[in-house]
Amino acid sequence: MIILDNMYKRNLFVFMLFFVFIQLTAQQKLSPKATVSVITCGPGSELYTAFGHSAFRVYDPVLGIDKAYNYGTFNFNAPNFYLNFAKGKLIYQLSVTNFNRFLRIYQYENRWVKTQELAINTSEVQAIFNFLENNAKPQNKYYQYDFFYNNCSTKIEEIVKIILKEKVSFSNSHLTSNKTHRDLIADYTKNFKWSKFGIDLALGSVIDKKATKDEYKFLPDYIFKAFENATITSVNGKKQPLVKKTRLILSEKKIKAPYNLFSPFNTILLISLLILFISYRNYTHNTRTKFIDFILYFVTGIIGVVVLLLWFATSHTATYKNLNFLWAFAPNLIVAFILLKNRVPKWIIIYNKILLLLIASTLIIWILKIQVFNIAIIPFLVALIIRYSYLIKFRNRLSSSKK
């Protein structure tokens, strides 16, 4: 009984020590030398790193704290990850790691890293630290990600505004361009031509509106510039720069991007020339190459179905009103199998005339910049126009020969 009583007391003591430790950790008081910095990381060689990255750094040399708070992490092993990704229900999380460990990743990836130490007082440093520590708890760390409106970069300004309130001012007066979201994406995907082609197919006309100055800040570079030009009101009421000190922590080694002969434009141009050649041969011999018609209608139909699913069946904010469905007409998926038959149905004449009108609408929409399409589809649209026109003529010949 005495032994049990002693074990109980010892276990209770250990539990109390653990509880006190947790409480002290949760309410850890930083020293007056502690600082908060915004971390900006340069683009990498993979598409998911092409836009750069943003994070927070809390550094306290007295307490030996040097943490990076990263809102740009996600878990591949989360339940239904890929399904949620496709549906636009991306769940990201705030992760915390040692700053040197954070740097090693970017050093390995050959990406530059800069920090901007904020000109804030001890209580404000403590407030941001407390906010981040609380936000990093398991019950708080997850958030609904949105590429344009709620990502690792937008979180930076959002949190600073929450803590500093009206003391901080982001004027955005340094921005002089009037770019759309698609323009901004294009600036960072110059070396990812196939990825840019896919982006232009998947994202709708909603990203062709002029971005507001605040909407530029989904990109880390623009968050960096926003902080460089932001101000904070001091105790005496005077405005001063929000950034106290900017440091280049890591430099990148310049590597020339290799030329890709099989770019989307070159590849699609070759395919289009082949379609035109076959169409010319068919015209001169009054024949029809069925497999070409099947492939053309099947591919455009599949693209059309995917475009419509991204528009209507997901929560992605950037895939709405995607007018690629005009030239990539979803019903083509069914018509493709009908065109495998030797005999072309008579209604294909009216159907193809509708397809030609839809392509004409696509070009008008492009000229008016209601939606900007990828330049690589130009030769393909020409090939579609020629092929659709030939099928109309071919079916008319069949009708005439019967008479």
3-state secondary structure the chain: CHHHHHHHHHHHHHHHHHHHHHHHHHCCCCCCCCEEEEEEECCCCCHHHCCCEEEEEEEECCCCEEEEEEEEECCCCCCCHHHHHHHCCCEEEEEEEEHHHHHHHHHHCCCCEEEEEECCCHHHHHHHHHHHHHHCCCCCCEEECECCCECCCHHHHHHHHHHHHHHEECCCCCCCCCCEHHHHHHHHCCCCHHHHHHHHHHCCHHHHCECCCHHHHHCHHHHHHHHHCCEEECCCCCEEECEEEEEEEECCCCCCCCCCCCCHHHHHHHHHHHHHHHHHHHHHHCCCCHHHHHHHHHHHHHHHHHHHHHHHCCCCCCCCCCHHHCCCCCCHHHHHHHCCCCCCCCCHHHHHHHHHHHHHHHHHHHHCCCCCCCCCHHHHHHHHHHHHHHHHHHHHHHHHHHC
- 268, 244: one domain: no
Q: Establish if 402 belongs to a structural domain.
A: no
- 243, 361: one domain: no
Q: Where a domain ends, among 217, 250, 283?
A: 250
- 225, 296: one domain: no
* N-term to C-term CA, the chain: 111
Q: Establish if 58 belongs to a structural domain.
A: yes
Domain count across the chain? 2
- 187, 226: one domain: yes
Q: Establish if 14 belongs to a structural domain.
A: no
- 227, 283: one domain: no
- 170, 208: one domain: yes
- 130, 182: one domain: yes
Q: Establish if 180 belongs to a structural domain.
A: yes
The whole model's pTM is what? 0.86
Q: Establish if 270 belongs to a structural domain.
A: yes
CA of 370: how far to CAs of 153, 324, 364, in Å?
28, 12, 9
- 189, 272: one domain: no
- 94, 127: one domain: yes
- 89, 213: one domain: yes
- Under a CB-based contact definition with an 8 Å cutoff, are residues 126 and 105 in contact? no
* Ramachandran sector of residue 263 (left: φ over 0; alpha: ψ -120 to 50; beta: rest): beta
Q: Which domain holds residue 294?
A: 264-397
Q: Provide the residue-wise pLDDT of the chain in tens; the chain has 403 residues.
A: 444 455 544 554 444 444 444 444 456 999 999 999 999 999 998 988 999 999 999 999 999 999 999 999 987 666 665 566 666 678 899 999 999 999 999 999 999 999 999 999 999 999 999 999 999 999 999 999 999 999 999 999 999 999 999 999 998 989 999 999 999 999 999 999 999 999 999 999 999 999 999 999 999 999 999 999 999 998 788 999 999 999 999 999 887 777 778 899 999 999 999 999 999 999 999 999 999 999 999 999 999 999 999 999 988 889 999 999 999 999 999 999 999 999 889 999 999 999 999 999 999 999 999 999 999 999 999 999 999 999 999 988 876 665 5
CA gap 355, 351 in Å, rounded: 6
